[in-house]
Amino acid sequence: MPQKFEITIPDGIVRVRLEEYLFERFYGLSRMYLRDVIKNGQCEVNGRIENKGKRISRGDFVEIELDLERESAMRLQELPLDIVYEDSDLIVINKLAGMLVHPTHREKSGTVLNVLSYYLNAEFGRRKAELANGNSTLSIPRSAFVRPGLVHRLDKETSGLLLVAKNTRSHRLLAKQFRLRTVKKSYLALVEGIVKDDVATIDAPIGRFEEKKSWNVKAEGKPAETRFRVLERRRNSTLLELEPVTGRTNQLRIHCASVDHPIVGDVKRGGREFERLCLHSSRISFVHPTGGERISLESLIQFRELNGAAARR
């Protein structure tokens, strides 16, 4: 439900763009939404409808209608977090299987970003509630709001270590390490069948098939390489350690299936039905963006295998 806010621009604001001021003040709303509100004539400055580039200063009077339910990915939501490492620049969590990393147009809550936003900005939750209750004099500086910065992602069904930056500088430096492939990651995967080779490399390009709207091995796709080694051979499956040299969409699932050893739980690619996808981000190693030392973290998991024909339903 839209609310009307009446704001007298305070001291210290001199010729600031309207959209920048609103983005700073209403930290939980996306820039795109605020631009649409201004474009649709729902914002007036000194009684006149203005555009997003209008320069405002101390004493100007802004009237705007906003729906505070239209929050961005920064919606604050309290849920348990398994924190593996944290300092002033970054945080590494152990993501649960079945948890999205960021909101989508269908799922707006319960994601890693929602929960991290709450954890890193608990005080903002209280102050935002005051704003929603009509305290139009409240000003919340966005500069003080910690925006979690994703530098890589995990599929919803994949569990394990996820590295998130706490500030712009850390995000830029960590993202550069991913681009240069100096970040080392490995995964545990329980795959179907008995893998014969103790150590091997899967080298198969991956591309998108538009007609099927899916990703798979494709001759004209982008180069993709995965190294693996066998950790344990079981009755009808094999526990592997996977190292993705490249980072293509669904690379580990696609590569395992391409050598006739789909990951257990990956029904779409030939794996048996299971309580979860048996893929876990188990190790990550990177250079700290401030200290310069290499940080190496580990999160192990025991996949409980359902042996026998009863598991294949």
Q: Which of 67, 82, 155, 266 is catalytic?
A: 155
Q: Is 60 a catalytic residue?
A: no
Closest CA to 81 of 68, 95, 70, 69: 95
Q: Are strands 225-233 and 237-244 parallel, antiparallel or unpaired?
A: antiparallel
Beta strands in the chain (DSSP E): 3-8, 16-17, 43-45, 48-49, 55-56, 61-66, 83-86, 90-95, 149-150, 159-165, 184-192, 199-203, 206-209, 214-217, 225-233, 237-244, 279-287, 294-298
Separation between Cα atoms, residue 193 and residue 239, nearest integer Å: 10
CB 183 within 8 A of CB 243: no
- What letter would DSSP give residue 259? T
Distance of CA 266 to the CA centre of its chain: 21
CB 279 within 8 A of CB 191: no
Closest CA to 275 of 252, 301, 303: 303
Catalytic positions, written as ranges: 155
